[in-house]
Amino acid sequence: MNPVQVVTLWCMLLLVPGLRAPRRGSPEEASFYYGTFPPGFSWGVGSSAYQTEGAWDQDGKGPSIWDAFTHSRTGKVLGDETADTSCDGYYKVEEDIVLLRELHVSHYRFSLSWPRLLPTGVRAEQVNKEGVKFYSDLIDALLKSNITPIVTLHHWDLPQLLQAQYGGWQNVSMAGHFRDYADLCFEAFGDRVKHWVTFSDPRAMVEHGYETGHHAPGLKHPGTSLYRAAHHIIKAHAQAWHSYNNTWRSKQKGLVGISLNCGWGEPVDISNPKDIEAAERYLQFCLGWFANPIYAGDYPQVMKDHIGRKSTEQGLDVSRLPVFSLQEKGYIKGTSDFLGLGHFTTRYITGRNYPSRQGPSYQNDRDLVELVDPNWPDLGSRWLYSVPWGFRRLLNFAQTQYGDPPIYVMENGASQKCHCTHLCDEWRIQYLKGYVNEMLKAIKDGANIRGYTSWSLLDKFEWDKGYTDRYGFYYVEFNSRNKPRYPKASVQYYKKIIIANGFPNAREVESWHHEALETCSVNNQLLATEPLLSHMCVASEIVVPTVCALCVLTAALLLTLLLRSPC
Ligand SMILES: *[C@@H]1O[C@H](CO)[C@@H](O)[C@H](O)[C@H]1NC(C)=O
Ligand SMILES: *[C@@H]1O[C@H](CO)[C@@H](O)[C@H](O)[C@H]1NC(C)=O
């Protein structure tokens, strides 16, 4: 979303009567629920290969579409940044495992880089032994520390050669290549890895990669390529699942699922059927697009209806949404041992009752308008507002829509507003506390939630946002050669939740907050010994948010003091 759009939405929102009032008719949202999670509930943090590893061309790794995209330096990535080195995670396995132990997590979710394992993308052509060894050692090191690996096969970094040769996910041959790659991973690591995620947030991957062009491979074919890419991703997922089920499950006894990201869509006016339908469309176009084929064998009816009708209006003979054959439906249905969910924020949804002047696109196909409440706390990323109650609703929706599947929350977290080194991340603590509490309520409602992955372990390369959005529990000083990590206050807080397995009582939870904020001021001083330049806060937003403003003031003060002191 660009700033102009957000402003428009805000203005529109102010025109919607009653919306600025606190959430109607849901007293449970105001009350904090004290209690603990079921025994064995798994707590973790996540990351992904391209965002953290660096070593982009080391030890036999082939290029990915993200290497090609960032190296083209076309201004599509903020500051033309690359993740060539990023956090240097490739060289810091032991160091990062110390951080995981400090957090007391029971699992760590990370992704394998497909081109690090298969430099050309094709298993039959070349397997990179050094890549296999790297991940094998990482898995061993985690297990030695009693940390369960949750392994994502594909988190957006497709081998560049597959893009060049086949046009990437637009081509159905990708499904077979993905299955071969998945099979290699099951074979090489499946004796130790019992939780596999085939794809992470495939919706964003195809929307930004093939529709808006904001992400690699940077294609802009609105309204067509993303549906085709998604179609092939769903087939690829199913093939990998079947391969596991047929060949590996009996020996390895693990689970294979997919991880889908979706916000919650709340009708603007809950007494207006048009808004209710629009909110339902929002969820079906987001979550149902992938989850419905996997759980029910086909795309959601509302997607087929809307895209089909619009395709006809646009003079096409067939729908832009591809069709699964009867045989494919049977093959795809039931190919998930758990549902992975990523969730960050919520939108109010209203039906769009004016025709769009633009051509076919995913956005237009949905016929809806997304709004935000200006009262919601906004966090670092422009799209990310803290609305904990939406999380519970999404979890309950997933529970009822897909037949009460085991759910693993695979991503949930908040970023930071500016470049400034601010280790006292109180807003992340508030976000974490609110969202984890709503998840606890969803479990109380009956959702079968097995684990929670907070996003993310480290500050890292944030795709088209470069290094400006910081999601980490640990601050990474990217300007330093050595990429040192520093704990933010939220490390202490999350650790307390994990050790207590929830929120035991008000007195204790209060004390966590104070303790967390005490430690961070000490760490802030530590960090202050780093060069001044890296402390300057660059306000990248048009409206300078309060926290950022504070940072600017502090930086200015520091500068003044420095200039005054005789050098
Ligand atoms: C898929 O890849 C093959 C092999 O490169 C190519 O011949 C075919 O045209 C591609 N199909 C599409 C739809 O791009
Ligand atoms: C999964 O594998 C088991 C054991 O081989 C088999 O009985 C079952 O039919 C398979 N499931 C599917 C959906 O193919």
- Token pair 């009996």 is found at 250
For ligand 1, mutation pick of 163, 171, 228, 235 (most atoms within 8 Å of CB): 171
- How far CA 285 is from CA of 236, 270, 302, 532, in Å, comes to 20, 20, 8, 46
pLDDT at 129: 98
Share of the chain above pLDDT 90, in %: 79
pLDDT tens-digit readout, 318-344 = 999 999 999 999 999 999 999 999 999
**Cα 437 to ligand 2 centre (Å):** 37
Strands 407-411 and 449-455: parallel
Q: How high is the pLDDT of residue 45?
A: 98
Q: Model pTM?
A: 0.90
Is residue 71 situated within a structural domain?
yes
Helices (H) and strands (E) in the chain, counts: 21, 15
Rounded CA separation 503/446 (Å): 18
Secondary structure, 3-state, 492-551: HHHHHHHHHCEECCHHHHHHHHHHHHHHHHHHHHHHCCCCHHHHCCCCCCCCCCHHHHHH
pLDDT of residue 282: 98
The CA 249 to ligand 2 mean position distance, Å, reads: 9
Q: Which helix (H) or strand (E) holds 328?
A: helix 326-332
Range of the domain at 70: 3-15+39-528
Ligand nearest to the CA of 164: 1
What is the Å distance from ligand 2's center to 245 Cα? 6
SS3 of residue 230 by DSSP? helix
Note whether residue 21 is domain-resident: no
Element (H, E) at 340: strand 339-342
Number of domains in the chain: 1
| Residue 513 lies inside a defined structural domain of this protein | yes
Q: Is 334 in the pocket of ligand 2 (CB under 6 A)?
A: yes
What are 274-301's pLDDT values in tens digits?
A: 999 999 999 999 999 999 999 999 999 9
Q: Over range 368-374, report the average pLDDT.
A: 93
Is residue 561 domain-resident?
no
For the CA of 242, the nearest atom of ligand 2: 14
Q: For residue 161, give the ligand nearest its CA.
A: 1
Q: What is the pLDDT of residue 527?
A: 77
pLDDT of residue 355: 75
Task: Say which CATH number the domain at 147 has.
Answer: 3.20.20.80
Q: What is the pLDDT of residues 508-530, one digit of tens each?
A: 999 999 999 888 877 777 777 76
CB-neighbour burial class of residue 23 (10 A; exposed 0-12, middle 13-18, buried 19+): middle
- Active site (catalytic) residues: 411
> Cβ distance 340 to 256 under 8 Å?
no
- The answer to whether the peptide bond before residue 456 is cis (omega within 30 degrees of 0) is yes
Q: Does the beta carbon of 212 sit less than 6 angstroms from any atom of ligand 2?
A: no
| pLDDT on residue 30 | 66
Are 43 and 410 within 8 A, CB to CB? Answer: no
Tell me, yes or no, whether 537 lies in a domain.
no
Mutate to test the pocket of ligand 2, among 246, 250, 331, 335 (most ligand atoms within 8 A of CB): 246
- pLDDT greater than 90 at residue 246: yes
- Whether 206 maps to a domain, the answer reads yes
Residue type, 516: A
Determine whether 376 is exposed, middle or buried from the number of CB atoms within 10 Å of its CB (0-12, 13-18, 19+). Answer: middle
* Residue 89, domain member (yes or no): yes
**Residue 399, domain member (yes or no):** yes
